[in-house]
Amino acid sequence: MTLELGRLERVPVREVWPHEAKDFTPWLALPANLSLLSNTLNLGDLGEIRTEVSVINFYIDILAKDGLGGLVLIENQFGSTDHRHLGQIMTYLAGQEGRVTIVWIAETFGEAHRAAVDWLNMNTTDSFNFFAVQFEAWKIGASLPAPRFNVVAKPNSWTRLVTEVTKAENEQHSRYAAYWVAFGDFLAQQGAPFTIGEAPPISWSYRFPLGVSGASLLASAAIGNNRVAVEVNLTNKMTSKSFFDGLVADRSAIEAQIGQQLEWLRQDEYILSRIAAATRAFNVSDKEQWSAQFAWLLEYLLKFKAAFSDRLKSLSQPIASPNSEPDDFPN
């Protein structure tokens, strides 16, 4: 008996991402993709993700925060590493205080630049940590290409730092779980049309359905920036933009119904479209403030549900042709 196996085949990076800034960086910045990198490096969950952040006369590709609130700077580069990108990294670091993790990603690392990353890890303070990461794309037969990150240089003390970050993340996860459990109890006491599932989230946000596939209400309570918020998320690849366009056409009426202006984010580079507005400064870690936070969240969840639910259901109905008979319409 002969066992037939596939063979890994390397795919040129530019066949997957034709342009570094226009294709690779937006792809990597998506949370699901960024987690591939963060898991490889044991960075934990990354939040507050921003792209193309202006610094003096250049841009940082991706800037985020780790579980301990430290900055994570990601600099991408097609082809082989060069002095310019190394210089940009050093220029950014010159004005930073606190812990910063630098991730330099390239197709190929020259020996001099890999050695430079090792030198930086050995000769800078413990608050600065440097990674050199090669990225590739592979496939098996006719499969879709898959990304692969290979670490070629990392901090010597990273095991200790990972332990600290993991401990902090576990503590933060417990705090979030307690928050959402308490919010679920509050919703039940108020007889609200929203519930928290049996397994409470261990992150900063929770989604509530809006009665239409690919549309939900996102309630968030971020410990890092001490803000609670409510927004609409449109996440279906086939409908997110058409739903968004249909809603924005009724923008004035929706904003009048909610009682404030909203932030309309179509986000053509992503599947996700957002309609955001309601935010309020609260100390999320202070349990004595939770009842006020819960009341505020419920108030805006109800406002958003009233403003968006029926409109989204109307937009999700199929459009009949001019010759359609009444029986063609759904009940």
Q: Tell me, what's the pLDDT at 1? A: 63
Higher pLDDT, 58 or 144: 144
Q: Tell me, what's the pLDDT at 164? A: 56
The secondary structure of 150-179 as a DSSP string is EEEE--TTHHHHHHHHHHHHHHHHHHHHHH
Domains, the chain, in order of start with CATH, read 8-156 (3.40.1350.10), 172-316 (3.30.1460)
Q: In angstroms, what CA-CA distances link 45 with 63, 123, 228?
A: 13, 27, 19
The stretch 134-138 carries a mean pLDDT of: 93
Residue 48: helix, strand or coil by DSSP? strand
The number of residues in the chain equals 331
The stretch 263-287 carries a mean pLDDT of: 86
pLDDT by residue (tens digit) across 218-269?
A: 998 888 778 889 999 998 888 999 999 999 999 999 999 999 999 999 988 8
Tell me: pLDDT of 38 over 90: no
Query: Which backbone phi and psi does 89 adopt, to 5 degrees?
Result: -60, -45
Residue 43: helix, strand or coil by DSSP? coil
pTM: 0.50
d(CA 303, CA 275): 13
Q: Would you give the DSSP letter of residue 329?
A: S
Q: Which range scores top for mean pLDDT: 32-41, 55-64, 162-171?
A: 32-41
d(CA 104, CA 109): 10
Strands 100-108 and 128-140: parallel
Tell me: pLDDT of 166 over 80: no
Tell me: pLDDT of 133 over 50: yes
Q: Tell me, what's the pLDDT at 191? A: 93
pLDDT by residue (tens digit) across 183-223?
A: 999 999 999 999 887 666 767 888 899 989 889 999 988 88
The stretch 96-120 carries a mean pLDDT of: 89
